Structure 1
Amino acid sequence: MNCQPQWIKRVYNWLLSNQSCLLCDLRAGTGQALCVACELELPWLGDCCQRCALPLPLPMAGLMCGHCIRQPPAFARVHAPWVYGFPIDSLIVRFKHHSKWPYGRLLAEILGQSLLDGFNSGEPRPAFLLPVPLSRKRLRERGYNQAGMLGDWLSKQLRIPCQPHWLLRTQDTAAQQGLDAKTRKRNLRHAFRLAAGVQVHGLHLALIDDVLTTGATAQSLALLLLKAGARRVDVYCLARTPKPDGLA
């Protein structure tokens, strides 16, 4: 049974026929549903940790945060265009919890363009995109996996295959929102596994998710993939929280 919604026509019809700005409702005039003025005012992620993308104050540009220095994460790099703040947080919540798929499509397109810019500047391209999986129960309740939708959109834009069934969530863990870093890690123990027959040895892979907070989910999945022989694991997401709970 495919729980993903039949969202493709609705998303693209909306994007083609409604070119007023999502934020100010004025005519966008950019080919996207976002005007130039509002795009410039989005909470763009500036100077950040080279490893986990945690926003850093000047003059720490190009450095790693204290947590990554003390305990380097299993993933090699996080790429996120924005800090998780207004209005990006509102757009992601509407996409993730209220089925407002055009918001997600727009944000994915901008994320994809920033990734293409990075590839053109010499950043390595992964072989496959792997959306962070939902449990079967949560997928039935929500009706779709927002990470899977992001992965599908990015796959077409980046021309990198997306493998939404390689990673499985085997435990219906409690929601991560509101939990501190230590509790999130305990919450995710043994929560994931690779699908039967999947071979990742020697591959550069990229996890796809909407927001990176403490990085517990990305860490758990990256460890799983590296233990299975993956060469490198990156994380591509829409936004990075400025101060993850429990991190210095």
Structure 2
Amino acid sequence: MRCQPNSKHQVYNWLKSKQICLLCDEHTDNDQAICSCCEAELPWLGGHCQVCALPLPSQGLVCGACLKKQPSFSKVEVPWRYAFPVDSLITRFKHQAKWPLGRLLGELLSHHLQHAFDEGLPRPDLLLPVPLADKRQRQRGFNQSDLLAEWLSASLQLPQQAHWLQRVIDTPAQQQLDAATRKRNLRKAFALAPGSTFSGLHVALIDDVLTTGATAESLARLLKKAGAARVDVYCLARTPKPGD
């Protein structure tokens, strides 16, 4: 079983004056572990729904699903489509414990969020990683959302609480399920930790990928019932609509 990495002893030296790009293995032209050319070729989101970030043909639109029923969360903020090479980087981080790749993605997400804050996105009071069931976390050895929340907290100087959300039912893996099945899977899957308080808070859920939004909706609904004033979602990538 893999161990959760110690944030004070990272597995990659981020203080090197000359970084090596983790995608092309060339020296970078900046202080990040990705060169400008590789960064420019990432699948940046472009046009998307202003609520759930579903990829759309142009900017400033709201998708049909969000127009039909407003989600419990207010906004999804995400830099990329779930496409190559970001999909591969996330998979290697999440399922192969390639923590330097996750650290790189978290750093780029932090820059994206800081730019969004500068452009008027309200800063949250608290970051909350999406929880894993205990059994799945033991098998994987870590929760990728915990690590992302920890890195974002340090970079953006926002508090985070890793244990205020709990997954009390270990549902089947969601990746291959449709939206309706995902929703059924997640009924009563989450709970709030004893002593946690959300009254009047603006909170942001942290996850790696948003697919149907069922997990985010379930957690946002739970947090709103607990008194949260606003719930946003920050993640690395958004999947396009099937067939797009």
Q: Same fold (TM over 0.5)?
A: yes
Say yes or no: does 1:80 pair with 2:99: no
The structure 1 residue matched to 2:138, chosen from 126, 137, 140, is 140
Partners of 1:108 and 1:7 in 2: how far apart? 13
Equivalences for residues 1-248 of structure 1 within 5 A: 4-6=4-6, 8-13=8-13, 16=16, 19-58=19-58, 61-243=59-241
Q: CA deviation at 1:106?
A: 0.6
Partners of 1:36 and 1:44 in 2: how far apart? 14
Q: CA deviation at 1:197?
A: 1.4
Q: Could you tell me the percent identity over the aligned residues?
A: 63
C-alpha distance 94-67 of structure 1, shift in aligned 2 (>3 A): same
Partners of 1:29 and 1:243 in 2: how far apart? 35
RMSD, matched Cα: 1.7
Q: Deviations over 1:87-144 (max 9, x none)?
A: 0000000000100001011111111111111111221000000000000101111110
Partners of 1:83 and 1:131 in 2: how far apart? 20
Q: CA deviation at 1:242?
A: 1.0
Paired positions, count = 242
TM-score calculated relative to the size of structure 1: 0.93
Q: CA deviation at 1:53?
A: 0.3
Q: Is the 8 A contact 2:18 2:27 kept in 1?
A: no
Report the secondary structure of 2:13's partner residue. helix
Report the secondary structure of 2:223's partner residue. helix
Report the AA paired with residue 11 of structure 1.
V
Q: Is the 8 A contact 1:204 1:231 kept in 2?
A: yes
Partners of 1:203 and 1:118 in 2: how far apart? 19
Report the AA paired with residue 211 of structure 1.
V
User: Which runs of no fewer than 5 residues in structure 2 stay unpaired?
Assistant: none
Report the AA paired with residue 225 of structure 2.
K
Report the secondary structure of 1:233's partner residue. strand
Report the secondary structure of 2:16's partner residue. helix
Report the secondary structure of 1:20's partner residue. coil
Q: Deviations over 1:3-40 (max 9, x none)?
A: 63336424342673872211111111211111111111
